[in-house]
């Protein structure tokens, strides 16, 4: 039985330890505002915004890199970029878009929304949450500092050995250590969000009532949890090879460089689903709202997401068909690759069925969601063709592959994330984005996207290899490359429209709690939400909780608006009928107490409690811990052991100070909240 609101006498509030550790920094309090307020915050909403904003800036940088690549390839025999510069730019473009854009954008949305969607006030470990963001930022800045310190990584985003073992300079080292730092961010975030979803659901929020975005993010976090350590090992082996001349990828010493590819893709293929599952979740939230129908086949959606999560571990070698794995392995991975299209296809049909016979409206989030379904279907279909081994060996390392993964990552993940951005912007910012500019944004992006990446299919089938910095005239590639380059500038224009839109709509307006007439819990609270999210922890009685509070069904099974919404504070103790539309399936938490649920969230004494809601205190230590990681990495790369030891001691010291700092500052009067003392332990472990 989950319990919302534990009772705890004030008298037991943690008293100040008599021999409190001497702090050389005064602890920030809940009242710390301004820049320090942001730098020390442990509020999941602020952290989510920081994740998203930082990732958006990296998106602009990665986009600029893409434009440079497209300028170079717009015509044959260009000399705009030198070959070496081109290598650095395409490596950084890929690495940025995957690790510094889509992953943190998904992490940002999940951070902001997951606790609210399950009816919690914060994540399980607020300070570890802050650590995740700062480590991500440190990793991104560290990797980009390479541009000013001798050249950026230049071995491709998957860094194949033995090339990356043997490349001179420190370029690859920045890539290795940058990814290690980002891995720490992802891993801590994964543990945190998994615990949050498993353990902090509001009463009544059984697993099968969770919004589908929560489900898909949860599956993605599990994938991260198990995939990150694999690339961590691969990167460790490579860094040992480069720093200490071990032999892991030394072919002369008898090593098998395919080990790298196995380890990398064992991480890399689950990674693909880490990138797409949250976007699938977003689209599954947006489509029902603007179709005015519940999601078609909720259970099937959940289980197909879980199935993708499991099967995602059995397809990695389809990235390696051209390496000569032998007929048995090739057949097995070919079959599994085609098979994983089944749960994905199920999802596509569910989205279509959700829209089928719905009362469709087409505001910008809906356009992006439909764009996602269409573009992702194309990307998915070209993905299935990779499972066909004879075709795949023909397509390997051509632009056909580049077309495929841009259709799933840009046409898929990014379209989904933009749908989410337009859909939840009113919740984050307190006002809607401009619809007219939004529609311009969508259509420019839709056209530009297909102009840019559609021709890649043709180029690939005509044999244009990927990662070439230029090509000679007369191969029949000129026209399509030019079209693609023009398309990339159309995309750039669409992004400009988005920036203008956000700039225009930066000041909050009275948008109301629920501007879209939506279905899930985040729309029951003010926009933007207060620091504590919920005055009273909600009691959940059905899937699409908010919808059932607002709507009921008439005798013909049509939904009709309730005269007075149920489950609101005003409605305390009034006659509340159980929502007939949803016969409380899966109510393993609330059990049989249907009909009493007006009481839980409804007790009308919320006002005077507002000041008594205690949230965890802010802290410097997550930020300081994160700062140590680039220091350690610079020391390692340049083999300046003093610096490396300084970084190590810095991290260790910060973690220790963190562990000794109570989650709640005794001096921070309004604050004592979800206990996170065990987090201390966790952080020591992670160190």
Partner 1 sequence: MSTVTASSGSHTEIDAGHPPTSTGLSNEKVAMWSFLGSECMLFGALISTYLLFKGQSEPGTIAPVDVFDIPYTSVSSFVLLMSSLTMVLALAAIQRGDQRLTRIWILATALLGASFVAGQAYEFTVFVREGMNLRVNLFSSSFFVLTGFHGAHVTIGVLMLLSLYSLSMRGKLPSSKAETVELVGLYWHFVDVVWIVIFTLIYLIP
Binders of partner 1 among residues 635 to 674 (CB under 8 A) are 659, 663-664, 672-674
Told to check if 589 binds partner 1 by CB under 8 A, we report: yes
Q: Which of 64, 167, 348, 686 binds partner 1 (CB under 8 A)?
A: 686
Residue 568 sits in the site that holds partner 1 (CB under 8 A) = no
- Closest to 493 measured CA to CA, from 525, 445, 536: 445
**For residues 251-310, which are near partner 1 according to CB under 8 A?**
253-256, 259, 263, 266
Is 473 a residue that touches partner 1 (CB under 8 A)? no
Q: Does 591 bind partner 1 (CB under 8 A)?
A: yes
Alpha-carbon span 568 to 186, nearest angstrom: 37
- For residue 248, the minimal CB distance to partner 1 (Å) is 6
Among 150, 229, 476, 512, binds partner 1 (CB under 8 A): 229
Residues 118-147 that bind partner 1 (CB under 8 A): 121, 124-125
What's the CA angle centered on 396, arms 172 and 470, to 5 degrees?
65
198 binds partner 1 (CB under 8 A): yes
Q: Which is nearer to partner 1, 481 or 676 (CB)?
A: 676
CA-atom Rg of the chain in angstroms:
26
Does 490 engage in binding with partner 1 (CB under 8 A)?
no
The 3-state secondary structure of 594-640, one letter per residue: CCCCCCCCCCCCCHHHHHHCCCCCCCCHHHHHHHHHHHHHHHHHCCC
Binding test (CB under 8 A) with partner 1, winner from 1, 11, 563, 642: 1
Q: Which of 73, 219, 237, 433 binds partner 1 (CB under 8 A)?
A: 237
Distance, CA of 257 to CA of 250 (rounded, Å): 8
Tokens linked to 484: 């693609």
Q: Is residue 329 a contact point for partner 1 (CB under 8 A)? A: no
Extended beta strands in 355-450, E state: none
Smallest Cα–Cα separation from 615: which of 118, 195, 218, 28? 28
Provide, rounded to whole angstroms, the least separation between the CB of residue 568 and partner 1: 14
The DSSP 8-state label assigned to residue 113 in this structure reads H
- The β-bridge partners of 561 are 551
Q: Which residues, numbered 350-369, are part of the site for partner 1 (CB under 8 A)?
A: none
Contact 42, 618 (CB under 8 A): yes
Our finding on whether 234 is near partner 1 (CB under 8 A) is: yes
Give the single-character DSSP code of 27: P
Per CB under 8 A, 543 contacts partner 1:
no
Binder to partner 1 among 244, 503, 570, 575 (CB under 8 A)? 244
Work out the burial of residue 539: count CB atoms within 10 Å of its CB; fewer than 13 is exposed, 13-18 middle, 19 or more buried.
buried
Comparison of 475 and 605: residue with beta carbon closer to partner 1: 605
- Number of residues forming the site for partner 1 (CB under 8 A): 88
248 lies in the binding site for partner 1 (CB under 8 A)? yes
Question: Is the separation of the CB atoms in 151 and 83 below 8 Å?
Answer: no
Stretch that binds partner 1, among 165-173, 197-205, 369-377, 460-468 (CB under 8 A): 197-205
- Looking at the Cβ atoms of 92 and 266, the one nearer to partner 1 is 266
Q: Is residue 192 near partner 1 by the rule CB under 8 A?
A: yes
Helix (H) or strand (E) holding 561: strand 559-561
| 80 vs 652 by CB, closer to partner 1 | 652
Task: Determine, following the binding rule CB under 8 A, whether residue 45 of this chain makes contact with partner 1.
Answer: no
* Pairwise CA distance, residues 381 & 73, whole Å: 26
Using the contact rule CB under 8 A, the part of the chain among 92-100, 102-110, 450-458, 583-591 near partner 1 is 583-591
Residue 121: both structure tokens together: 């006030």
Give dist(CA 13, CA 664) in Å, integer. 10
Q: What share of the chain is helix, strand, coil (3-state, %, to 5)?
A: 65, 0, 35
Check binding of 539 to partner 1 (CB under 8 A).
Answer: yes
CB of 183 to partner 1, least distance (A): 10
Minimum gap (Å) between residue 460 Cβ and partner 1? 32
């Amino acid at each position: 039985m989950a319990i919302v609101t534990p009772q705890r006498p004030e008298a037991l509030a943690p008293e100040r330890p008599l021999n409190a550790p001497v702090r050389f920094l005064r602890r920030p309090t809940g009242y710390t505002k301004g820049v320090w307020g942001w730098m020390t915050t442990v509020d999941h909403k602020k952290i989510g915004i920081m994740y998203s904003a930082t990732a958006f800036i990296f998106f602009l940088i990665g986009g600029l890199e893409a434009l440079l690549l497209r300028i170079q390839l717009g015509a044959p025999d260009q000399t705009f970029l030198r070959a070496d510069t081109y290598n650095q730019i395409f490596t950084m473009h890929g690495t940025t878009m995957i690790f510094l854009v889509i992953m943190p954008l998904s992490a940002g949305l999940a951070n902001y929304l997951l606790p609210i969607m399950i009816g919690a006030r914060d994540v399980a470990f607020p300070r570890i949450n802050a650590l995740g963001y700062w480590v991500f930022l440190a990793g991104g800045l560290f990797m980009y500092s390479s541009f000013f310190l001798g050249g950026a990584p230049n071995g491709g985003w998957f860094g194949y050995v033995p090339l990356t073992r043997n490349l001179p300079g420190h370029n690859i080292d920045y890539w290795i250590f940058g990814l290690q730092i980002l891995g720490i961010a992802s891993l801590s975030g994964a543990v945190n969000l998994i615990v949050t979803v498993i353990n902090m659901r509001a009463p009544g929020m059984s697993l099968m009532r969770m919004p589908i975005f929560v489900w898909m993010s949860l599956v993605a976090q599990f994938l991260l949890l198990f995939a990150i350590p694999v690339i961590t090992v691969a990167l460790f082996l490579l860094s040992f090879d480069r720093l200490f001349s071990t032999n892991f990828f030394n072919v002369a010493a008898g090593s098998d460089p395919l080990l790298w590819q196995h380890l990398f893709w064992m991480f890399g293929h689950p990674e693909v689903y880490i990138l797409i599952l949250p976007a699938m979740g977003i689209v599954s939230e947006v489509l029902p709202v603007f179709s005015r129908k519940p999601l078609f086949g909720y259970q099937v959606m959940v289980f197909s997401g879980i199935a993708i999560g499991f099967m995602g571990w059995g397809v990695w070698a389809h990235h390696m068909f051209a390496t000569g794995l032998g007929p048995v392995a090739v057949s097995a991975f070919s079959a599994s690759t085609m098979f994983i299209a089944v749960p994905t296809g199920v999802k596509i049909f569910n989205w279509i069925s959700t829209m089928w016979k719905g009362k469709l409206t087409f505001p910008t989030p809906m356009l992006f969601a439909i764009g996602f379904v269409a573009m992702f279907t194309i990307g998915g279909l070209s993905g299935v063709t990779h499972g066909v081994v004879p075709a795949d060996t023909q397509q390997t390392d051509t632009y056909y592959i580049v077309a495929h993964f841009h259709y799933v990552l840009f046409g898929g993940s990014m379209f989904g994330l933009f749908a989410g951005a337009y859909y939840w912007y009113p919740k984050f910012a307190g006002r809607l984005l401009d619809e007219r500019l939004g529609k311009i944004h969508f259509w420019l992006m839709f056209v530009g996207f297909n102009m840019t990446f559609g021709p890649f299919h043709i180029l690939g089938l005509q044999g244009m290899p990927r990662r070439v910095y230029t090509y000679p005239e007369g191969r029949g590639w000129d026209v399509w490359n030019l079209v693609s380059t023009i398309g990339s500038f159309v995309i750039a224009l669409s992004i400009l429209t988005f920036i203008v839109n956000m700039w225009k709509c930066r000041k909050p307006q009275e948008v109301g709690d629920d501007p879209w007439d939506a279905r899930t819990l985040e729309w029951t609270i003010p926009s933007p939400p207060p620091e504590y999210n919920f005055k009273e922890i909600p009691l959940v009685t059905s899937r699409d909780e908010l919808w059932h509070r607002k709507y009921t069904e008439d005798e013909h099974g049509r939904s009709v608006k309730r005269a007075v919404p149920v489950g609101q504070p005003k409605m305390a103790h009034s006659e509340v009928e159980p929502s007939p539309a949803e016969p409380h399936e899966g109510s393993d938490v609330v059990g049989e107490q249907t009909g009493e649920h007006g009481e839980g969230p409804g007790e009308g004494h919320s006002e005077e409690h507002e000041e008594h809601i205690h949230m965890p205190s802010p802290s410097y230590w997550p930020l300081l811990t994160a700062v140590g990681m680039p220091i350690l990495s610079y020391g390692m790369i340049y083999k300046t052991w003093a610096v490396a030891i300084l970084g190590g001691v810095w991290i260790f010291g910060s973690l220790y100070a963190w562990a000794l700092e109570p989650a709640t500052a005794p001096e921070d009067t309004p604050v004592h909240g979800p206990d996170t003392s065990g987090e201390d332990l966790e952080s020591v472990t992670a160190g």
